[in-house]
Structure 1
């Protein structure tokens, strides 16, 4: 019976904190970890949606703690960590999922827009991880799961600001992985491809630029969450999702010149549509 429980609920008795948990991948991840047995701390800025997500998590028979938190605000992060410690006396998995997109050519991006995206995608991740480390150190076999993007592995036209922020996430993940290895804290990277969520609706745009529908089959947020939990359970260091995403990463690695030509064609098409 114990073996069966461990097989169906491998995170039973563990505590998972998910940022950006009010919608999209974060909300799906909170439910997926809960289905695997974990108690979940849900953090996000949108309180009503966050409380709805927490009720969904609690309905799976685990503890759910919603905490309104803006990871770009140091006091919010400190309060989130304190409430997590008070409720659970430690943390097993930190999922750094909170993020925002940015679309438009680099020359047309506003500096404030670029700083806003980096503040959330990069500094927010750094701030959250640094604050959570004392709690992670209380638990054996703890993890940090950083949600990046296939666009963190290759810069694409019209997405340079967002790509740069996720490339920074990738580099920070590699550094953190080495720095924490001796303590037994594993640092994992999950890179989704095109995903059905409210992410595109909430991203920033350079003045005068909007993106047409992408002619690719999207993964659902639930599929991304399932892959994340699977990677977390197995301790996979890098997970790149969707077939087009994996093809892009491999093509850029082994034939960067060819992919440069593809990117130039994408630039021409984008500017033609934007004119």
Structure 2
């Protein structure tokens, strides 16, 4: 990025040790922002922070499990003491879940909602005092195209991202009078460690999806562009946009298509 439109701005990214989070950290840094990287893996975070600092900005790495209130409070204290405030919060940390709804466990569903929904609420609420009063402040919530349409064998994950979408809409209207913009970015299939860490219902595993995946860097580029423009909703990948439109205009037909899409599945012994 030739210009540095986020120069001297402070951006906090959760789930920043790999994948979309790490790519976003570098993309915002290239745009001139100082970056706070939060995740559980401290060794990966410190390595990521060095990569970010090599781009000529400041980086702060903070080990944080966003499902723990005390960790989130510590994170915000570190941001406040180091930078004095926050301009952009990127809620990126997330967890996947695969398998039919009747086969996933209640514990698995609770884990997914704890990270994808409750942690997003927890971090956002804690960050608001640091965002208030900062001109152009933003909250960027990373959802998924699957938050716009439930698919078979992904119902638990889809439900968590649909909750993110609804919370984003509510938060957007609640914070608008204060000048804090709330944006939603919905990636499609992305090359990252996400599938490696995803939970599976017992006896279920997904084979490779026959779709071209975006790179994490492409997602990050589109995220920063949406952030720069203040775009409310960004749905990424052409298949993702087609899916959302098909579900809106021909939902019955898309039900049948979705059923066929669920076929490339294997059951483990």
- TM category (shorter chain) comes to over 0.9
Residue in structure 2 matched with residue 153 of structure 1 by the alignment: 148
Task: Pick the structure with more helix per residue.
Answer: 1
The whole-number CA distance in structure 2 between the counterparts of 1:51 and 1:207 is 35
The whole-number CA distance in structure 2 between the counterparts of 1:10 and 1:140 is 14
Residue in structure 1 matched with residue 11 of structure 2 by the alignment: 16
Q: 1:94-133, CA deviations, whole angstroms, 9 ceiling, x for partnerless residues?
A: 0000000000000000110100010000000000000000
Aligned length: 268
**Per-residue deviation, 1:270:** 4.9
Residue in structure 2 matched with residue 92 of structure 1 by the alignment: 87
Q: 1:11-55, CA deviations, whole angstroms, 9 ceiling, x for partnerless residues?
A: 001000000000000000000000000000000001111111100
Residue in structure 2 matched with residue 74 of structure 1 by the alignment: 69
Residue in structure 2 matched with residue 193 of structure 1 by the alignment: 188
The whole-number CA distance in structure 1 between the counterparts of 2:35 and 2:153 is 36
Of residues 56, 65, 73, the one that matches 1:61 is 56
1:163 equivalent to 2:158? Answer yes
Residue in structure 2 matched with residue 108 of structure 1 by the alignment: 103
Asked if 1 retains the 8 angstrom alpha-carbon contact of 2:165 and 2:184, the reply is yes
**Per-residue deviation, 1:260:** 1.2
Secondary structure class of the residue paired with 2:206: coil
Gaps spanning 5+ residues in structure 1: where? none
Secondary structure class of the residue paired with 2:38: strand
**Per-residue deviation, 1:202:** 0.4
Note the aligned Cα RMSD (angstroms). Answer: 1.2
Superposed, which structure 2 residues align to 1:152-231 within 5 Å?
Answer: 152-231=147-226
TM-score normalised over the length of structure 1? 0.95
TM-score normalised over the length of structure 2? 0.97
Gaps spanning 5+ residues in structure 2: where? none
The whole-number CA distance in structure 1 between the counterparts of 2:209 and 2:134 is 42
The whole-number CA distance in structure 1 between the counterparts of 2:231 and 2:119 is 23
Q: 1:147-181, CA deviations, whole angstroms, 9 ceiling, x for partnerless residues?
A: 00000000000100000000000000000000000
**Per-residue deviation, 1:140:** 1.2
The whole-number CA distance in structure 2 between the counterparts of 1:270 and 1:40 is 40
Superposed, which structure 2 residues align to 1:115-126 within 5 Å?
Answer: 115-126=110-121
The whole-number CA distance in structure 2 between the counterparts of 1:89 and 1:125 is 22
The whole-number CA distance in structure 2 between the counterparts of 1:270 and 1:197 is 20
Q: 1:52-109, CA deviations, whole angstroms, 9 ceiling, x for partnerless residues?
A: 1100000001000000001100000000001000001110000000000000000000
The whole-number CA distance in structure 2 between the counterparts of 1:199 and 1:44 is 14
The whole-number CA distance in structure 1 between the counterparts of 2:261 and 2:32 is 44
The whole-number CA distance in structure 2 between the counterparts of 1:254 and 1:10 is 38
